Amino acid sequence: MRIGLRIFLGYFLIVAVAALLLARVFVAEVKPGVRQAMEDTLVDTANILAELAADDFLAGRIDHGDFAKRVRALGERDVGAAIWGFRKRATTYRVYITDARGIVVFDSDGRDVGQDYSRWNDVYLTLRGRYGARSSPATPGNADETIMYVAAPIRDDARRVVGSLTVAKPNSAIAPFIARSQSVVMRWGFVLMGVALLIGVLVSWWLSRQIDLLRRYAHAVTAGARAPPPDAAGEFGELGRALETMRTRLEGKQYVEQYVHTLTHEMKSPLAAIRGSAELLESPPGDGTMPDADRARFAGSIRGQAERLAQMIDKLLALAAVEHRQRLEKPEPVALAAIAQEAAEQCAQRLHKTGAKLLLDLEPNLPPVLGDGFLLRQALINLIENAADFSPAQGEIVLRLRRDGEAQRVEVSDRGPGVPDYALGRVFERFYSLPRPAGGSRSSGLGLCFVAEVASLHGGGAALVNCDEGGAVASLVVPG
C-alpha cells in the first residue's frame, strides 16, 4: 500500500470518528436543550397565571370568573405568528387549577373538572411547596407523543399554598424546531467532514508527491541517469538538495577512480610502442648502421603514438566535462543546419587527406532547437571523423538532417565495412574501438561516447546501425 494512501486512510479514520462523535453529541443535545428552554418558559408562564388567578380562586369563582373567561378566549385567538419560518395560528397551552387537595377546579379544555390530580408530580410537589413538573404521554402507552406539565402554587394573603396552577404544552409543538436543528447540525457536520476529507486528500496527495519525487530521483541516481534534484518544498526540498550534494561528491570520487584506472590501462599500449622505438633508436651501432628507412619508421611510430596520447587526453578532458554536467545551464536556440555546415567545414582538411567526400543533405526551414551549439558541433565532428576512419578511399560520406516527429535527426552514413554484430551494442562505451579497415591504429574510443553524452544532455539519443546496402549510419536525435 502506497504511503499516500496510508496517510489518507489514517486521516480519514480520525476525521470520521471525530465527526461521528461530534454529530452524535450535537444531535443528542439538541432535543434536551430545546425542551429545557420550553420548560423555562412554562415556569414563567405558570407563575404569572398563578398570580392572575389568585383573586378568582380565593373568591370561589375560578371556573366562571374573569380569569376563566380570558383563558378560554385564548383558544379562539388567531396568533398569526411566524417563528423562524414556521407558521403558528393557535396556542397549544392547556391550563388547569386544583385546590389544596389536588381536585381539579378549573380546566381550560373543560374535560377533567372534579378529577383527582393529587397523584401527579406537578400537583403533588407544588402543593407541598416544591417545584412540580412532569412529562407524560398524551395517551397511555404512547411514548412518542408526550406533554410537558409545569405547575406553580396559588397562595392566599398569608402566602400559604392553597392550590396549584399547571400549564401543559405538547412536546410535539417544538418537534419541528428540534428536527430542523438536528438537520442543520447533521448537514453542516457532513459539510465539515467533506471539507476535512478534501483537505486530507490534498495533504495526502502533496506528501505522496513529494515522497514520490525523492523516490524517482533516488532510482534515477541508482541507474546512473542524469536527473535534476527534485523540485520539492520545505523539508523535502532540503532532503533533495542533501541527496544531490551527496551524489555529486560520491560520483566525483568514483569518477576519478574509474578514469585513472581506465586511462592508465589505455596508455600502456602507446607508451610501450614509444619505449620500444626509442630503445631501438638509442641502441649502439653494431657491425652496421640502422637503415634510414627503419630509423624514419621508428621515429614516425614515436610521433604517431605521441599524437595518439595527446588526442586521447584532449578527448578524455572533453568527455569528462560533458559527463560531469547534469543539465544544460543556459540552453539557447540553435539551428542544426548551420551547426552541420560548420562541422563539415572543420572536417574538410582531414577529409581531403583521406580522399573522402562529404555530401550535405539538410532539410530547409527547420526551427531551431534549444541546446549548446559548441557541444552539438563537436558531436557532429566526431561522427564525421568516425565515418571517415571507416570509409574506403575516395568514399562518400553523407550528412543528413531531417524532421523526426517532435525532434530533429542528424545522420552520418558511410560506405565502409559496417560494424560487426558483436560490437553493435558496445560502440558507445568509453574506450571501446574497432580496428580501422586500412590497418591503421585504433582510435581513443571516446568519440562516440562523447556523442552519446551530448545527446543525453540535450534530452535526445544516439544510435549506430548497419545499412542493408553496406556501410553504417550513426544518428543524433535532439528534441525540437
* CATH number of residue 257's parent domain: 1.10.287.130
Q: For residue 376, give the amino acid letter.
A: L
Q: Is residue 196 part of a domain?
A: no
Q: Which of 306, 326, 346 is the last residue of a domain?
A: 326
Say which residue the cell 486528500 belongs to. 201
Q: Is residue 289 part of a domain?
A: yes
Asked if 30 and 161 sit in the same domain, the reply is yes
Q: What is the CATH number of the domain that holds 9?
A: 3.30.450.20
Q: Which of 46-60, 178-192, 235-249 has the highest mean pLDDT?
A: 46-60
Asked if 246 and 101 sit in the same domain, the reply is no
Asked if 252 and 291 sit in the same domain, the reply is yes
Element (H, E) at 94: strand 94-99
Q: Is residue 414 part of a domain?
A: yes
Q: Phi and psi at residue 46, in whole multiples of 5°?
A: -60, -40
Domain with 358 in it: 328-480
Burial (Cβ within 10 Å: 0-12, 13-18, ≥19) of residue 42: buried
d(CA 389, CA 31): 96
Q: For residue 471, give the amino acid letter.
A: G
- Of the listed ranges 75-79, 145-149, 355-359, 395-399, the least confidently predicted one is 75-79
Q: Is residue 193 part of a domain?
A: no
pLDDT, position 62: 92
Q: Is residue 211 part of a domain?
A: no
The answer for residues whose C-beta is within 8 angstroms of residue 33's C-beta and 6 or more apart is: none
* pLDDT, tens digit (0-9, with 9 covering 90-100), for 282-310: 666 554 566 767 667 667 667 666 665 66
Say which residue the cell 527534485 belongs to. 230
Asked if 346 and 476 sit in the same domain, the reply is yes
271: helix, strand or coil: helix
The answer for residues whose C-beta is within 8 angstroms of residue 471's C-beta and 6 or more apart is: 413, 414, 415, 416, 417, 418
If one counts the domains in the chain, the total is: 3
Q: Which of 256, 291, 326 is the last residue of a domain?
A: 326
pLDDT, position 42: 93
Asked if 137 and 269 sit in the same domain, the reply is no
Mean of the per-residue pLDDT values of the chain:
79
Q: Is residue 199 part of a domain?
A: no
Contact between residue 457 and residue 375 where contact means Cβ atoms under 8 Å apart? yes
Q: Is residue 363 part of a domain?
A: yes
* pLDDT, tens digit (0-9, with 9 covering 90-100), for 12-45: 777 777 777 766 666 666 677 778 888 899 999 9
Nearest to 122 by CA among 186, 194, 48, 43: 43
Share of the chain above pLDDT 90, in %: 26
pLDDT, position 253: 47
pTM: 0.44
Helix residue spans in 283-355 (DSSP H) = 292-324, 336-354
Asked if 25 and 83 sit in the same domain, the reply is yes
Residues in the chain: 480
Q: Is residue 300 part of a domain?
A: yes
Q: Which of 159, 179, 199 is the last residue of a domain?
A: 179
Q: CA 204: distance to chain centroid? A: 7
Angle at alpha carbon of residue 361, lines to 355 and 362, rounded to 5°: 135
115: helix, strand or coil: coil
232: region left, alpha or beta (phi > 0 left; psi from -120 to 50 alpha): beta
pLDDT, position 398: 92
Asked if 373 and 437 sit in the same domain, the reply is yes
Asked if 398 and 335 sit in the same domain, the reply is yes
Asked if 52 and 103 sit in the same domain, the reply is yes
Contact between residue 305 and residue 273 where contact means Cβ atoms under 8 Å apart? yes
**Cα separations (Å) of 48 from 107, 277, 281?**
17, 132, 137
Q: What is the CATH number of the domain that holds 441?
A: 3.30.565.10
pLDDT, position 255: 46
| Residue 115's pLDDT band (cuts 50, 70, 90) | very high
Per-residue pLDDT at 114 exceeds 80: yes
Q: CA 308: distance to chain centroid? A: 53
pLDDT, position 232: 66
pLDDT, position 185: 73
Asked if 335 and 303 sit in the same domain, the reply is no
Asked if 261 and 389 sit in the same domain, the reply is no
Asked if 358 and 265 sit in the same domain, the reply is no
pLDDT, position 311: 56
